[in-house]
Amino acid sequence: MIKSILEAISDGGMVADGAMGSLLYERGVYAVRSFDEVNLNQPELVYKIHRDYLLSGAQMLETNTYGSNRIRLSRHGLAEKTIEINEAAARNLKRAVEDNAYAVGAIGPTGLPPGDIRQSEDAVYKVFAEQAKALIDGGCDALSIETFSQPAELRLAVTAARSVTDKPIIAMIQPRDDMTIADGSNPAQLASEMRAWGADVVGANCNSPDVIYEVATAMLESKLPIVAMPNAGRPEHIEDRLIYLATPENFGVFAKRFFKAGIKLVGGCCGTNPNHIRRLAAASRMVTPVRRATVQKVEFTERLPEIPIEKRSHFGSLLGQQFAVSVEVNPASGLSTDKQSKAAKSLLKAGADVINIADGPRATARMSNLSFALKLKNELQNEVLLHVCCRDRNLLGLQASILGAHVLGLRNVILITGDPPKVGDYPDATAVYDLDSIGLIEMCKGFNRGLDPAGKFLGEQTSFVIATGAEPAALDFERELFRLEQKVDAGANLIMTQPVYDQGHFDRFLERTAHLHVPVFIGILPLASYRNAEFIHNHIPGMNIPDDIRERMRKAGKGDAARKEGVAIATEALMSYRDRVAGTYIMPPLGRYEMAEEIIEALGADRTLGKAASA
């Protein structure tokens, strides 16, 4: 591996493997046997499981040594084979991953009760040191000390491991359902203690995804890289077995939440298998996609100066000059576009400046938005704003689509990473993500200068107005801000935000992005009902609806009264920032375009830009 494991974890979006014991059981190893001894007498079985995880997308894999300390092994009469088992496990893993992933030695607790640990601290310390040294000697890149519920034992394990190696140490606690651990310690406070003991990465494992999420996000206060390895949901007893019933799809949804919250490393614990890790890897690519080496920043001597933005399109001429309104109208899932065309015409008459068209929103199957955009442009004789996402096309397909759009006269694009297939109707569809939104913006800006991604001079240039998206309420706001700065540096001309409901979040966003000097369009999504508000708040990442707003929708009831209240809330949000932004991006809910028209009407005919927005 080129990067050190700590560098890779710090970059974020890193995927670990899943459970080992449950797979050994499923593949014929009886539960009464020592799973650790399998490293010696069935190494190919362990090797195959490692390979399955590697091929599922794991970038960090752990040895089959959770119970390989001398105390646990003694229960199977294997104490004298402690070093042999750990070194063999490390070799099995190194052979499986080769140079394609990081090999980490797993260390679990002794299983002794707290009283016994206190009475024999020196002996327990030596047991952990012995196992740690054997794993390092076997070739591990780091150590993972995991599933500890007693801080006293965790301290012994971490300090003992640190005494025998300077390689990175990952330390994980096992929280209870009440978000504490066995002695009542607060995980967030314990994270700082774990750092003092010698841990480089801290986190939590071995509970349901919701519990691990709450504990791991609380530990972000430590400023250390955080790891989360939840079980496959909550277990249920079925006959004589403990079964984890959460589907890989559900696990993938939680994985996205972990990554977006700022958790750097995510893997699986009890009940997870390669299918769960495959979903986890897909979530990682969606949230923190890899920018492949095929598109590089290179200085070229032959290029064309970019066309001034006001000459690229009519929409471009509005930016920074007057308050502009963009409204989203998407094709239906069928063949007819009559309803959408009629709605777009009505919205333009009401005062919208541009119609924008999403690219397979929520990963649902619809007609090509490029085809629909061209149809609207020709029917209405008005510009459109075309969404282009990275999910469905590889690098070559993205180039072809964008260049084709320009030839067809489409000049305004918003470039986004795109929702993963797992959130839509076809969760098994392949997600490509050759590029993320940053790489796609770089490519489009290159076209505006007459260069293709390989640096070849095209002889002519495109004239795109390039918009990008942002989440003012992102859980990991610093990461969101960092990526937004990268997008602007890559060539974004306009920022269009996710819907805004919490004014505190948007005030912070405007304050922290002022230095970018790029026009901002505030996202507005009027709420259709209380149920709609609850769904957005609880299930859509980056969307936070304050309690008072949700209460207003609850009191409004249903039907027209609820829609009117939703329009009122949206209008209030828009008017409160009318003089601080360059425009608005309105998203009518559930095809209720009349709600967008009411908001535009409330905005009024005066489109003079506020001083703060034009500065």
- As a whole number, mean pLDDT of residues 194-215 equals 94
- Walk across the sheet containing 14-15 and list its strands: 14-15, 265-266, 226-229, 201-205, 169-173, 142-148, 102-107, 60-62
In this structure, the answer to whether residues 230 and 143 fall within a common structural domain is yes
For the stretch 379-408, pLDDT in tens is 999 999 999 998 888 889 999 999 999 999
Given 256, 287, 318, the domain boundary residue is 287
SS3 467: strand
Give the Cα separation of 578 and 609 in Å (integer).
8
Give the Cα separation of 93 and 190 in Å (integer).
31
In this structure, the answer to whether residues 92 and 226 fall within a common structural domain is yes
Contact 276, 58 (CB under 8 A): no
Q: Measuring CA to CA, which residue among 217, 218, 221, 222 is closest to residue 257? A: 217
Residue 519 located in a structural domain: yes
Q: Which pLDDT does position 28 carry in this prediction?
A: 85
In this structure, the answer to whether residues 175 and 276 fall within a common structural domain is yes
> Is the model's pLDDT at 237 over the cut of 50?
no
Work out the mean pLDDT of the chain and round it to a whole number. 89
Q: Which pLDDT does position 292 carry in this prediction?
A: 40
> Is the model's pLDDT at 615 over the cut of 90?
no
Q: Which pLDDT does position 99 carry in this prediction?
A: 83
For residue 586, report the phi and psi dihedrals to the nearest 5 degrees.
Answer: -95, 130
Given 232, 254, 287, the domain boundary residue is 287
In this structure, the answer to whether residues 547 and 456 fall within a common structural domain is yes
- What pairs with residue 133 in β-bridges? none
Give the Cα separation of 238 and 406 in Å (integer).
59
In this structure, the answer to whether residues 276 and 350 fall within a common structural domain is no
For the stretch 405-426, pLDDT in tens is 999 999 999 999 887 765 566 6
If phi > 0 it is left, if psi is from -120 to 50 it is alpha, else beta; for residue 179 that is left
Greater pLDDT, 510 or 428: 510
Q: Which pLDDT does position 434 carry in this prediction?
A: 81
- As a whole number, mean pLDDT of residues 89-93 equals 96
Q: Could you give the number of structural domains in the chain?
A: 2
Residue 591 located in a structural domain: yes
- Cβ partners under 8 Å of residue 79, min gap 6: 70, 71, 73
In this structure, the answer to whether residues 273 and 314 fall within a common structural domain is no
Q: Which pLDDT does position 295 carry in this prediction?
A: 40
Which pair of tokens denotes residue 276? 């769960």
Give the Cα separation of 375 and 274 in Å (integer).
44
Give the Cα separation of 489 and 46 in Å (integer).
46
Q: Which pLDDT does position 614 carry in this prediction?
A: 62
pLDDT band at 297 (very low <50, low <70, confident <90, very high): very low
Q: Which pLDDT does position 238 carry in this prediction?
A: 41
Residue 301 located in a structural domain: no
Type of residue at 400: A
**What spatial distance separates the first Cα and last Cα of the chain, rounded to whole Å?**
47
Q: E strands along 115-247, which residues?
A: 142-148, 169-173, 201-205, 226-229, 235-238, 241-244
> Is the model's pLDDT at 289 over the cut of 60?
no
Residue 468 located in a structural domain: yes
In this structure, the answer to whether residues 236 and 339 fall within a common structural domain is no
pLDDT band at 302 (very low <50, low <70, confident <90, very high): low
Residue pointed to by tokens 């809330």: 569
Residue 297 located in a structural domain: no
pLDDT band at 363 (very low <50, low <70, confident <90, very high): low
> Is the model's pLDDT at 42 over the cut of 90?
yes
Contact 318, 353 (CB under 8 A): yes
Maximum Cα–Cα distance across the chain? 84
Given 223, 253, 287, the domain boundary residue is 287
Give the Cα separation of 495 and 488 in Å (integer).
9
> Is the model's pLDDT at 299 over the cut of 50?
no
Which pair of tokens denotes residue 425? 């109707």
Residue pointed to by tokens 């065309």: 341
Give the Cα separation of 74 and 80 in Å (integer).
8
Q: Name which of 242-246, 527-531, 592-596 the model is least confident about.
A: 242-246
Which pair of tokens denotes residue 486? 């990268």
- What pairs with residue 584 in β-bridges? 325, 522
In this structure, the answer to whether residues 245 and 115 fall within a common structural domain is yes
Q: Which pLDDT does position 425 carry in this prediction?
A: 64
For the stretch 105-162, pLDDT in tens is 999 999 999 999 989 999 999 999 999 999 999 999 999 999 999 999 999 999 999 9
Residue pointed to by tokens 């955009």: 373
Greater pLDDT, 270 or 185: 270
In this structure, the answer to whether residues 344 and 279 fall within a common structural domain is no
Pairing mode of beta strands 235-238, 241-244: antiparallel
Distances in whole angstroms, Cα of residue 248 to Cα of each of 254, 283, 484, 540 = 10, 11, 31, 19
Residue 296 located in a structural domain: no
For the stretch 458-507, pLDDT in tens is 889 999 999 999 999 887 888 889 889 999 999 999 999 999 898 999 99
pLDDT band at 300 (very low <50, low <70, confident <90, very high): very low
Contact 304, 449 (CB under 8 A): yes
- Cβ partners under 8 Å of residue 239, min gap 6: none
Greater pLDDT, 289 or 43: 43
Q: Which pLDDT does position 475 carry in this prediction?
A: 79
In this structure, the answer to whether residues 182 and 282 fall within a common structural domain is yes
User: What are the b/e assignments for 492-522, b being 16+ CB within 10 Å?
Assistant: bbbbbbbbbbbeebbeebbebbeebebbbbb
pLDDT band at 291 (very low <50, low <70, confident <90, very high): very low
Type of residue at 487: K
DSSP 466: E
Give the Cα separation of 354 and 421 in Å (integer).
28
In this structure, the answer to whether residues 329 and 191 fall within a common structural domain is no
What angle, 0 to 180 degrees and rounded to 10, lies between the N-to-C axes of helices 82-97 and 121-137? 40
Give the Cα separation of 329 and 309 in Å (integer).
24
Residues recorded for the chain: 615
In this structure, the answer to whether residues 206 and 317 fall within a common structural domain is no
> Is the model's pLDDT at 37 over the cut of 50?
yes
Residue 560 located in a structural domain: yes
Give the Cα separation of 562 and 221 in Å (integer).
39
For the stretch 315-332, pLDDT in tens is 999 999 999 999 999 988
Residue 295 located in a structural domain: no
Residue 609 CB neighbour total at 10 angstroms: 21
Which pair of tokens denotes residue 35? 């799973």
- As a whole number, mean pLDDT of residues 87-95 equals 96
Identify the CATH number of the domain in which residue 606 sits: 3.20.20.220
Q: Which domain covers residue 205, as residue numbers?
A: 5-287
Give the Cα separation of 553 and 438 in Å (integer).
37
3-state secondary structure 94-116: HHHHCCCCEEEEEECCCCCCHHH
For residue 199, report the phi and psi dihedrals to the nearest 5 degrees.
Answer: -80, 140
Percentage of the residues of the chain whose pLDDT score is greater than 90: 69
